[in-house]
Chain A
Amino acid sequence: MPIQYYIYFSLALFSIGIIGVLTRRNAIIVFMCIELMLNAVNLLLVAFSKMHHGIATTNNAVSTAGVEGQLFVFFIMVVAAAEVSVGLAIIVMLYRNTHSVDINFLNRLKN
């Protein structure tokens, strides 16, 4: 498949994530949308990695170009997992105090 398809698909996923973050009011769903953004990035990384590998191997059959893109994906996964653990803990903490996970609640701080 041409690389453009991957780019369009990833950007679509990424945009869905952004729109979700900006419009949804439930903290858990906002959080899921952020994860969606990270996964769109992962997909695009792998696609670009494959593309750069393809370009490099046409000149040099044993090139390792493009490997770092795949490696980056692992780092993103690990960091995303760390963020999930912290984020869910924060949401649980908020739920214990207010019995709600609504984001509108956050506006209270401004006063």
Chain B
Amino acid sequence: MNAIIFSAIMGVVMMFTGIFTNKKPVITLTAIVALVILLVANILNSYGIFSIQVDTKDLLHFNKMGMFFNTLMIAGTLLFVLLSGSELEKLGNKTADFYALIFFVLCGTAILTSFNGMLMLFLGIEILSIPLYILTGSDKKNLKSNEASLKYFLMGSFTTGIMLMGIVLLYGATGSFGMAGVSNPATPPSAGVQTASFLQVAGMLLLFAAMSFKVSAAPFHFWTPDVYDGAPSVFTSFMSTIVKAAGFFAFIKLFASNTSLLGPTWSIILSFVIVATLFAGNITAIFQRSIKRMLAYSSIAQAGFMLFALYSNNDLGTEGIILYTVAYCLATIGFFAILMKVKDYTFDGFNGLASTQPVLAFVATICLLSLAGIPLTAGFFAKYFMLASVVKAGGPIWLVIVAVLFAAMSAYYYFKVIQAMYFKEGQPETAEIGQGFKFGLLLVAVAIVLVGVLPSLVLNCFYF
């Protein structure tokens, strides 16, 4: 409960900060302090030392897993603000409002990690999404940002309608908004046999489609490249990491006990979605000329891997999604922080970065290696756990082979950036880079390697 209450309060605090001061560094500092308070409050809550108790009438259910995930989300946001806060300040003079919206998004993620029923799922998704529509359009004079915002908004609210229809059909079939309605067939009072009614199956599929949209899984991924490309880079970095991970957590939580309703059809649908997502993400990423757009497609490809946790639905999958979140957040936030310092977002813009900015090029290389899943980086174990969980769950081996092939394919477009930085001549234009920023980036690189060598460091925290 702490995470929800504190993030909402901190959001209001940030709005008031905007009234009392116009100095942007002060606002960023306030946001950092607020995030640290939120982080501490959530960690205290997960150890049971200090927690605000509210009777939620069983609408929310707090468990260790959810609270640990909250900790990861808040820590990820803290890292994001520390590395990219200065870029955020450059967007107009409403810096405090942007931070307030980020805190409201965190409130949404905290609800999504603890919902226990459709009502809170719906509210969580909306609290998460509505601030994002605004953040996407925050660069008001930029047409690309406007378009991305309108597109995201129209598609997002369209999906909300679909999701609500799914929820209502489930309600009609089962008579409750509980989680059991998604997974267990409703028992008609008269008949002794368990049968899933048409309403229930239709409702579940609509819900599945809506959640796939939110995590940008194919064939519902068409908004992702345009929105991620059009949004200001700062918020792309936030959206593609924190928000996506929270979406996945909700997705997995919602369909945690999924097998009984659709039977074997479920795994067929899911393997189709996984392969389609990996295909759509990886193949299109190869042909991009802009690195930002390439990252948008690669985030679809990474979503394909994260979907394996939904497929396997066991302990290993749970550990895998945690590791994946850590690895993906670290690498993407780190790489976006570097990308924002380079003026030109095309591959040619990175030519010769290693000679002018060796630290940036080095950290970017580590981040890209981690995204590609090369051993000794965090991304390797993240992918390994995902695939191992499918094998453990008795999933088809061809699915694993396809995933490995696509992972190998992804190395191509990640290595193209590394090649541009180290083996091509050029004078890339970069913004002013401070010592603190370089130090922070090196810490990210160290963290990626550390998690890559000892993944148990993260997982042990989870079991405390």
Q: Show the binding face of A for B, using Cβ within 8 Å.
A: 7, 14, 17-18, 21, 27, 30-31, 34, 37-38, 40-41, 44-45, 48, 51-52, 55, 65-66, 68-69, 71-72, 75-76, 79, 82-83, 86-87, 89-91, 93-94, 97-98, 103, 105-106, 108-110
B122, B123, B126, B175: the one within 8 Å of A52 (CB): B175
Contact across chains for B161 and A34 when beta carbons are under 8 A apart: yes
| Interface bits B152-173 vs A (CB < 8 Å: 1, else 0) | 0110011011101101100110
Contact across chains for B122 and A68 when beta carbons are under 8 A apart: no
Closest 7 CB pairs of A and B: A37-B161, A48-B172, A41-B164, A52-B175, A79-B126, A109-B226, A94-B146
Given contacts A86-B130, A90-B137, A98-B143, contact A76 B151 (CB under 8 A): no
Contact across chains for B168 and A45 when beta carbons are under 8 A apart: yes
A101 closest partner in B (C-beta): B150
Contact across chains for B161 and A27 when beta carbons are under 8 A apart: no
**Which residues of A lie under 8 Å from residue B137 when comparing CB positions?**
90, 93
Contact across chains for B158 and A34 when beta carbons are under 8 A apart: yes
Contact across chains for B144 and A109 when beta carbons are under 8 A apart: yes
**Which residues of B lie under 8 Å from residue A21 when comparing CB positions?**
154, 158
Given contacts A52-B175, A75-B119, A86-B133, contact A110 B161 (CB under 8 A): no
Given contacts A52-B175, A72-B177, A83-B160, contact A106 B147 (CB under 8 A): yes
Q: Show the binding face of B for A, using Cβ within 8 Å.
A: 118-119, 122-123, 126, 130, 133-134, 137, 140-141, 143-144, 146-151, 153-154, 157-158, 160-162, 164-165, 167-168, 171-172, 175-177, 226, 229-230
Q: Dominant SS at the A interface? A: helix
B131 closest partner in A (C-beta): A86
**Which residues of B lie under 8 Å from residue A98 when comparing CB positions?**
143, 146
Number of A-B contacts (CB under 8 A): 113
Other A-B pairs beyond A18-B161, A45-B168, A48-B168, 9, CB < 8 Å: A7-B172, A21-B158, A34-B161, A37-B161, A79-B126, A89-B134, A90-B133, A97-B141, A106-B151
**Which residues of A lie under 8 Å from residue B143 when comparing CB positions?**
97-98, 108
Given contacts A34-B161, A90-B153, A93-B140, contact A68 B176 (CB under 8 A): yes
Contact across chains for B154 and A51 when beta carbons are under 8 A apart: no
Bound CA span A37–B154, Å = 13
Given contacts A38-B161, A38-B164, contact A27 B154 (CB under 8 A): yes
Contact across chains for B147 and A109 when beta carbons are under 8 A apart: yes
**Which residues of B lie under 8 Å from residue A86 when comparing CB positions?**
130, 133-134, 153
